[in-house]
Amino acid sequence: MILGQAHFIKTVEDLHEVMAASAPALKFGIAFCESSGPRLVRSSGNDEALICLAEKNALEISAGHSFIILMEDGFPINVLNGIKQVQEVCGIYCATANPVEVLIAETGQGRGILGVVDGGSSAGLENESDVADRKELLRNIGYKL
């Protein structure tokens, strides 16, 4: 998943274009929380289940101008630079496959994302065996030769 903030009603269309152009097998759902006017959750994607799940999560977060992208058969690293290059994207809170908790502030005006808790806390320092395991994993998933 990728969680970020943008600022314009056409965000969902622009994010869709980036995702669709990144990899032919990538499945994705996008939801964007509009911040003014009707303040609707706008959505798009190429997989109905991921679109519905993105909508559900966006509505639960319900923070103005936030967006969430859920994906399968691809990794955030493959699309993240394209997402960051979308003109109206202001920032990315996280891009991860870990469990995420979104920290929300609520005022009389609305809701905003303060930050995220991405995965668990550090369990210790990496040793030589851990380095070897990490490099093997990267080779197994095609990121290192």
Which CATH number characterizes residue 56's domain? 3.40.1520.10
Integer CA distances (angstroms), 75 to 23, 61, 84, in order: 10, 23, 15
For residue 141, the model assigns a pLDDT of: 85
Residue 78 included in any domain: yes
Rounded mean pLDDT, 67-76? 95
Residue 87 included in any domain: yes
Residue 145 included in any domain: no
Percent of the chain's residues with pLDDT above 70:
100
Q: How far apart are CA 3 and CA 18, in angstroms?
A: 15
Q: Which residue has the higher pLDDT, 145 or 74?
A: 74
Position 143 pLDDT exceeds 90: no
Under a CB-based contact definition with an 8 Å cutoff, are residues 71 and 83 in contact? no
Residue 31 included in any domain: yes
Rounded mean pLDDT, 23-37? 94
| DSSP conformational letter for 87 | T
For residue 38, the model assigns a pLDDT of: 93
For residue 145, the model assigns a pLDDT of: 79
Rounded mean pLDDT, 95-101? 95
Position 126 pLDDT exceeds 90: yes
pTM (predicted TM-score): 0.92
Position 99 pLDDT exceeds 90: yes
Rounded mean pLDDT, 93-120? 96
Residue 90 included in any domain: yes
**Domain range holding 102?**
2-140
Position 24 pLDDT exceeds 90: no
Question: How many domains does one find in the chain?
Answer: 1
Residue 21 included in any domain: yes
Rounded mean pLDDT, 118-138? 94
Residue 99 included in any domain: yes
Taking the CB of residue 102, how many other CB atoms lie within 10 A of it? 19
**What is the residue-averaged pLDDT of the chain?**
95
Residue 46 included in any domain: yes
